[in-house]
Structure 1
């Protein structure tokens, strides 16, 4: 049990090992089940359960940092993109806010999928960090897909522009923290030590520009299933206008 939590012990994570593949398969199965049974789910129950799981993941991670004596301003603040979208996912699930949905759908899914496929993770199964990493990142994906498949939310093309603007403003703010703390949140000061998709994008700082292009391409791919359809908010506004005109 001590090894399960020990920050200084544990086997090094290997990409696409049996445990990694199994974690991806479980997420895929969860997505399929959500899609198949979306009309039978207890909406409020599932929505709040997802929010609770994500919140507990963040709380458990910080407890682990403190108990293992590795909490630090330079390394453990929730300023990575997936940490930020995780917290936004919790608020989105509780409030059902459409603007947060836009961010979580595009930035959350894109960032979490990249992390799940190329984990920046120093601990293999069955370490605590292995379970936390995959539950937290899978939870972000499931939160966005829940709002899409079950609640009927839809992104618009303008959502892409708003999320790109959000990410660039966020990057500037996080870069300021990086400079102040000597940190490397969101990998704005350098690439991660473990293998990642950033290894294909050239040296610093040019890979940051490639990241911008990749984000745009991924957002367009995520938007493709909804191209030509009204967003949830636009649809709601149109129905409200129609109702108002009918009453006149």
Structure 2
């Protein structure tokens, strides 16, 4: 138990794209796929929305409690202000309220940031059999699964307009975080400097130019996330035209 809740991981205990890492990602993909394959059955089990919402909230509360218990809580690093953290709380509210506005934002900003976080996690070395690792993937994976549930069960779909509204809101949030960083001397969203560990930002140039690259990558990732729905609309529209012509 002490090892599970350890505050000081063994150095280099987490290995990027190790078997444990890949299995974790595979489990999230399988559960997401399950929500689509079993969507008819899940429509009769609406408590699943409340359950996943509680999991997300408990996950964030447990993390804050763990940080405090480890005597390493700091306003500079522990507040849920990273984009992939704030969407955890927004996803919990989204599941309860079924808000389409929140869905649009969480779908684009939440999935893109959570997927990136899960593929290249900032875990500080915590391994798969430790609390921080489990909490990290439960919260970020839960955001992706929350969107999958609303798409599969409630048939929500993002719109092209909501894509650009999400871009706007992310930039407004970034402006707010920049002010917060200056006020408390933090580095949320890595707006002030790159993270100390190796990351994707290392290949995007020096500060502040990598922020411009991040903006481009964000827009591109949003477009990729919208692509399946755009293709679905095109195919559906083509079928409707064919049926209309055949019916004449």
Question: Does the aligned pair in 2 maintain the 1:121–1:194 contact within 8 Å?
Answer: no
CA deviation profile, 1:71-124 (whole Å, cap 9, x unmatched):
111110110001110010011111011110011000000000001111111111
Cα distance in 2 between the residues matched to 1:59 and 1:185: 19
- 2:196, 2:128 → 1: CA distance? 20
Paired position in structure 2 for 1:245 = none
Report the number of matched residues. Answer: 230
Alignment partner, residue 6 of structure 1: 6
Distance verdict in 2 for CA 1:23–1:229, change over 3 Å: closer
Shift of 1:228: 6.8
SS at match of 1:40: helix
TM-superposed CA distance for 1:43, in Å, is: 4.2
Tell me what 1:207 maps to. Answer: 210
Match 2:229 to one of 221, 226, 229: 226
Question: Contact 1:4–1:128 (CA<8 Å) still a contact in 2?
Answer: yes
Does residue 186 of structure 2 align to residue 191 of structure 1? no
Q: Is the counterpart of residue 132 in structure 1 residue 135 in structure 2?
A: yes
| Aligned pairs (5 A) from 1:80-229 | 80-122=82-124, 123-227=126-230
C-alpha contact (below 8 Å) 1:120/1:195 kept by paired residues: no
Deviation larger for 36-45 or 203-212: 36-45
TM-score (norm 2): 0.89
Does the residue aligned with 2:39 lie in a helix, a strand or coil?
Answer: coil
What CA distance in whole angstroms lies between the structure 2 residues aligned with 1:87 and 1:193? 26
1:155-180: CA deviations, max 9, x gaps? 10001111001000000101111111
CA distance in 1, matches of 2:175, 2:69: 32
Q: Which residue of 1 aligns with 2:242?
A: none
- Contact 2:9–2:127 (Cα < 8 Å) also in 1: no
Q: Structure 1 residue runs of 4+, over 4 Å off?
A: none
Q: Name 1:64's counterpart in structure 2.
A: 66
CA shift at 1:211, angstroms?
0.7
Deviation string for 1:16-36 (max 9, x for gaps)? 111101100101111111110
Q: Structure 1 residues 169, 70: closer, same or farther in 2, change over 3 A?
A: same
Distance 2:70 2:220 in 1: 39
3-state DSSP of counterpart to 2:41: coil
> CA shift at 1:200, angstroms?
2.0
Mapped to 2, the partners of 1:87 and 1:62 lie a distance apart of 13
Quote the Cα distance in structure 1 between the aligned partners of 2:53 and 2:196: 31
Structure 2 residue runs of 5 or longer lacking an equivalent are: 234-248
Q: Greater shift after overlay, 219-228 or 57-66? A: 219-228
